[in-house]
Chains A and B, each alone.
Chain A
Amino acid sequence: GENVEQHPSTLSVQEGDSAVIKCTYSDSASNYFPWYKQELGKGPQLIIDIRSNVGEKKDQRIAVTLNKTAKHFSLHITETQPEDSAVYFCAASMVSGGYQKVTFGIGTKLQVIP
């Protein structure tokens, strides 16, 4: 099955600096790569996603890159703000057994220091 590795597990940055979270996946059949943000006491929420036929996608301060050959993808947050503090999960998704199977990384706890 798919295996998603995510690092670092914790990340502290000064407000205004950039943060980068990296993930690798194992199964080349994965074709959709979402990133979720989980705030304390809440469920995860999608913040950005990328399909396997796209190399990069940007949405304001957030960008995701995908290298299919190397099987890795990354989340970049620029000009970090205190409200960016949360746990971020990467995921890799593929059609398996008739449904879109999602495998999550273990999460990165991001702390933005004011």
Chain B
Amino acid sequence: NAGVTQTPKFQVLKTGQSMTLQCAQDMNHNSMYWYRQDPGMGLRLIYYSASEGTTDKGEVPNGYNVSRLNKREFSLRLESAAPSQTSVYFCASSNPLAGGKDEQYFGPGTRLTVT
């Protein structure tokens, strides 16, 4: 049981290049999320997928697109990378319970640098 896996672990892009961050979970969770983590700003939600077949914008969606490929996989795409997208990206998954409890399981992160 690997939990949440992310690839790649590190990536350096030039401004304008594109790339896709991959995420997979093996816990049969319905919901999946992409966050970015920047110093002094905590974790900010980029996109989420409440269930297979649905995706919605989070707090900071501009410059990103997502695909919920199946129940296990949720990818994040940067079409034209900008230096402002330099960050650490985390994928998470959960099965929200009635009454509000929603433990999110995070992957190890992808450290992206855009030059």
Contact = CB atoms under 8 A, between A and B. Distances in A.
Please determine whether chains A and B interact with each other in the same assembly. yes
Interface of A: 6, 9, 31-32, 34, 36, 41-46, 49, 51-52, 89, 93-95, 97-102, 104-107
Interface residues of B, number: 25
Grouping DSSP codes into helix (H, G, I), strand (E, B) and loop, the A interface class, with mixed when no group exceeds half, is strand
Interface stretch (B13-21, B62-70, B71-79, B101-109): B101-109
Contact of B43 (A52, A89, A94, A99): A89
Contacts of A43: 4, 90, 92, 106-109
Nearest to B4: A43
Interface of B: 4, 31, 40-45, 48, 50, 56, 90, 92, 94, 96, 99-104, 106-109
Contacts of A44: 43, 90, 104, 106
Nearest to B90: A43
